[in-house]
Amino acid sequence: MRNVLWALAAGAGGVLAFAPFDLFVFGFASIGVLAWRVERAAGSGAAFVLGLLWGLACFGVGVSWLFVALERYGGMPAPLAALAVLLFCAYLALYPALAMLAYFRLRRGGAFCRAGIFAALWFMAEWLRGVVFTGFPWLAIGYSQTPPSPLAGWLPMAGVYGVGALVAALAAWGGVMDWRVAHNRRQLAAALLVVGGGGWLAGRLAWVEPVGEPLAVSLVQTNFEQALKWSPEHFHTILRTSLELVRASRGQLVVLPETALPALVEQLPGAYVDELGAMLDQRGATLVTGVFARDADRRIYNAASTFGVGAGQYYAKRHLVPFGEYSPPLFGWFYRWVHIPMSNQSRGVDNPPPLELFGRKIAVNICYEDVFGAELVSRLPEAGLMLNLSNLAWYGDSFAQPQHLQIARVRAIESGRPMLRATNTGMTALILPDGAVAAVLPAFTRDVLEVSVSAWQGMTPYARWGDVPALLIASLSLFMLFTLRRQSRSV
């Protein structure tokens, strides 16, 4: 029972490392406690259970906002919504559980060696969680290391999974070593100094630089309750309010959030589109807005479309949300319990060109897409700016908004590009390439954030190579470990 409580407390406490709490040291403490208990587990089955319990607590607390989407806005009965979230968290928990099972069986050597084994397995577990079944990398431990964590300096080189492996290595080292030996304590302190100091120095390397004149941008936060967005009675109110917010904006580039105009482009009233276009043309401005598009084959896309100067460009979301935007095979029964509008979407084309506006190339991503760093950096070096359109109204007043903002901060650091965010209910912001939030609107307010931002040029190491170097190191380490283990068995 003591091990159960330790695992649950460590998992739940690890959420404190992420936004909105931002206590990044809790990431080390959470994984360190897990490694400590797994090291002393009675067997590989017990190690698996400890990893599973840790994951259930971490994800159960950290992504509890999924319940709000299913129950409040999806119409699912509360018990079924709770069960669905529990089953999803149990699936996510399998990744740390399998990592702990493998660690228990493969561990060998002293604390330093064991920490390396733990870190390689942790990296593989988080990376796989981010790609299997289209991936769900939310709460990867590297996200907790945004500034002021000194490890943030490693993000432009190693990415979120590589930084997560550093956290796991240091935490596991502290969890498995004998603290009674002074030499062990000095070694760990030296490692913390090297990794932390190296990250601090790395964060001061100039991988990228601004280019050209700043662009005036208006990021509109419309703040419409999710229950109203698909109400026919409120459709014209939403259109008119959005128009007035655009009229009140001052930027050359004006951005409305994801699905701000809750209809297909072809269904928007002609007079409304004409009025919007005339207003933008008169002031020489461009509007990028979230809207739905339909092609000749009647496939529906969650899209961003331009109006005014440079009208007619659009981007279609490529990485869709399972269950929310499309139904995975064999899960049609799910939609008998929930009511999610526009849940039959198609994914956009791979490698879409950036929007070209006012001499800048802007890479658009929509909501959940910015969780996938390797996909975003594939748009570089061509794009000088990144633009995210989101609608987190589905999740109410929860951890989802600050967690998503923290994820966007990591994407800006990895890519070396400013990230502009226009959201429905929050958090609308400008994030600089060093991860600093230069400006942000309060959540659940209707307002326009006026910012000035330059395009940036250059490539960070992560933008060049993505997760490949860290993946190769982890794979090679585990391959060598398996080989040594087989050789030792054959002797």
pLDDT 10s digits, 133-163: 999 999 999 999 999 999 999 999 999 999 9
What pLDDT is recorded for position 347?
Answer: 86
Section 424-432 average pLDDT: 96
Does the pLDDT at position 327 exceed 80? no
Give me the mean pLDDT over the 309-320 stretch.
91
Q: What is the mean pLDDT of residues 297-326?
A: 88
**In the prediction, which pLDDT does 329 show?**
61
Torsion angle of the four alpha carbons 189, 194, 197, 198, in this order, in degrees rounded to the nearest 10: -160
Residues comprising the chain, all counted: 491
Q: For the chain, give every domain's residue range.
A: 2-205+468-490, 208-459
What are 438's two structure tokens? 């230069």
Does residue 479 surpass a pLDDT of 90? no
Question: Catalytic residue numbers?
Answer: 258, 317, 367
pLDDT at 297: 85
Homologous superfamily (CATH) for 208-459: Carbon-nitrogen hydrolase (3.60.110.10)
Model confidence at 491: pLDDT above 60: no
Tell me: the pLDDT tens digits for 84-132? Answer: 899 999 999 999 999 999 999 999 889 999 999 999 999 999 999 999 9
pLDDT in tens, 235-263: 999 999 999 999 999 999 999 999 999 88
Residue 490 has pLDDT above 60, yes or no: no
What percent of the chain stands above pLDDT 70? 94
pLDDT (0 to 100) of residue 105 = 93
- Which one has a higher pLDDT value, 424 or 344? 424
pLDDT category at 226 given cuts 50, 70, 90 is confident
| pLDDT above 70 (res 489) | no
Model-level pTM?
0.94
Determine the straight-line distance between the first and last CA of the chain, rounded to whole angstroms.
Answer: 39
pLDDT at residue 451 tops 80: yes
- The predicted-structure confidence for 462-475, as pLDDT tens digits, reads as follows 999 999 999 999 99
Own/partner long-range contacts of 112-115 (Cβ < 8 Å, ≥24 apart): 112/173, 112/187, 114/39, 114/172, 114/173, 114/176, 115/169, 115/170, 115/172, 115/173, 115/176
Residue 69 reports pLDDT greater than 90: no
pLDDT of residue 339: 63
Per residue in 328-343, pLDDT (tens digit) is: 665 665 656 666 666 6
Q: Is 209 exposed, middle or buried (0-12, 13-18, 19+ CB in 10 A)?
A: exposed
489 vs 294, more confident: 294
